[in-house]
Chains A and B, each alone.
Chain A
Amino acid sequence: MPLLKGAMGARRYRVLLASDPPDRDRYLELLNEHAFREPDSKAKAGENQGWVSLHNLCITEFTHEDSYYNQYLCFALRMDKKAIPARLLKALLDLRVTHWLQEMNRERVPAAVKRELKEQLELELLPRQLPSVGAHDVCWDLANDVVWFFNNGNKANEVFRTLFAQTFNLETQPIAALQLIANHRKKDVWVPRLDSIGHADYRPEP
């Protein structure tokens, strides 16, 4: 929970607002609508994402008291991934194939049968498998139209931006070198110059 404790790793984004002013009640409704939901079936593999409370990744209801802190709207992105360890799946599948070959008195297993054996195995194992769970803090500064996402991974940031756009119907723009330049009062001088420069060679003259 880097927003509250410990060292922080984060990327910041400008929130490109529509003309309407921020509606605090509406934002909470939208968070609730796009909150994290457990998958319908426990035998389902893959990824599952949604918003959760900043304070507990199992809380998926958002209230003013637990979400708004002064000008900040705080919540977290939960990202679950459920998969059977590949080496375990292969080992168990090899045993099933051997058993099938003995039972059927065959030398080779047809691809379709092998696929079926694998699917059966996955259906047996997945309900017993817990997902890997990640939760990454989000802090939206409504006064300055900046949102901080406390994770530096490319994939997590991609998921965050996509879900943020789906939830609030608002685009986010990464704040890095070029965006800082484009919003500076000297942008008329600096931006055209960007097109004519390359990486400078700092090695001393021979």
Chain B
Amino acid sequence: MSEEEPGAVMSEEENEAPEAELWDEPAPVEDKSWEQKLEGDEWINESLDLHPTDHPASRFLGKEFLLWLWWRSEKDFGTVELGEMGKVDYWIDDRISFRTPGEDPQTSDLKGGAPATTAEAHMALRAGKVVETASLGFRVREREYMLQFKGEGMELSGVKVPSECDEGVDEQIFERMFLLDEITAILDQLFFRFCEQRLEDGWNTQVLPEIRQWVAGDA
């Protein structure tokens, strides 16, 4: 099972292909005429700017990031140093949902307690289910954040920030936007850490086998 195998398309709208195809065939490459029109480094930014959701990777990268977060949170005991932000604690909180690829997807929604630590959660991964959404918790400099993170689109909802200001619209907006910026900056930094492993050498030979071991329950 190599990393380059599947052209997985997990979203409901997209999963027209039978499951076997999703896991065994290379990712479908759609119209790339836009790439040819641009030369050098310029095409990199411009192509993604013009087609931000057309690229096949946009459908799975956020979901893989969510799984990677889960794995790292257990591997690193839920703590990471993020440059200027310092030490950040993070954890999968009280909800995690999975889904199988394919035409007739099966879903699992585990709620309450610490569902990521249960046997059911690891069973879901072993069965090839993909993490769709999870509730995440973060603690940085004694500030605690809770949110729902949807892998596809890396979308945030139900974001609870530790705001303290109750009076003065100016102060409220300034405080809440500061906190929202802080939590998105943490997520962005973690995403870049994920990309450093996922999009560089060593993924297939070191990281992926280690995650598979963790999924199997051997790590």
How long is the Cα–Cα vector from A16 to B128 in the complex, in angstroms? Answer: 40
A203-B52 in contact (CB<8A): no
Stretch of A3-11, A106-114, A118-126 with 4 or more beta carbons under 8 angstroms from chain B: A3-11
Given contacts A72-B177, A181-B195, A191-B48, contact A152 B8 (CB under 8 A): no
Given A8-B180, A176-B52, A180-B191, A139 and B173 contact (CB-CB distance below 8 Å): yes
Interface contact B195-A184, CB-CB below 8 Å: yes
A104 beta carbon closer than 8 Å to chain B: no
A191 touches B180 (CB 8 A): no
Q: Which of B53, B55, B180 contacts A10 (CB 8 A)?
A: B180
Q: Would you give the shortest CB distance from A107 to chain B, in whole angstroms?
A: 46
The number of residue pairs between A and B whose CB atoms lie closer than 8 Å in the complex comes to 174
Q: A8 touching B27 by the CB < 8 A rule?
A: no
Known A69-B174, A203-B125; judge A187-B212 contact (CB<8 A).
Answer: no
Contact, CB under 8 Å: A203 / B45: no
Chain A positions within 8 Å of B170 at CB level: 69-70
Specify which chain B residues have a CB less than 8 angstroms from the CB of A12 in the assembled complex. 184
**Known A69-B173, A148-B180; contact A201-B158, beta-carbon cutoff 8 A:** no
Counting CB contacts under 8 A, is B157 at the interface?
A: yes
Chain B interface residues toward A at CB < 8 A:
1, 3-8, 10, 22-23, 26-27, 29, 41, 44-45, 48-49, 52-53, 55-65, 67, 101, 125-128, 130, 153-161, 169-170, 172-174, 176-177, 180, 184, 188, 191-192, 195-196, 198-200, 203, 208, 211-213, 215-216, 218
Task: Report the 4 A-B pairs with minimum CB-CB distance, sorted nearest first.
Answer: A199-B8, A204-B216, A9-B157, A198-B27
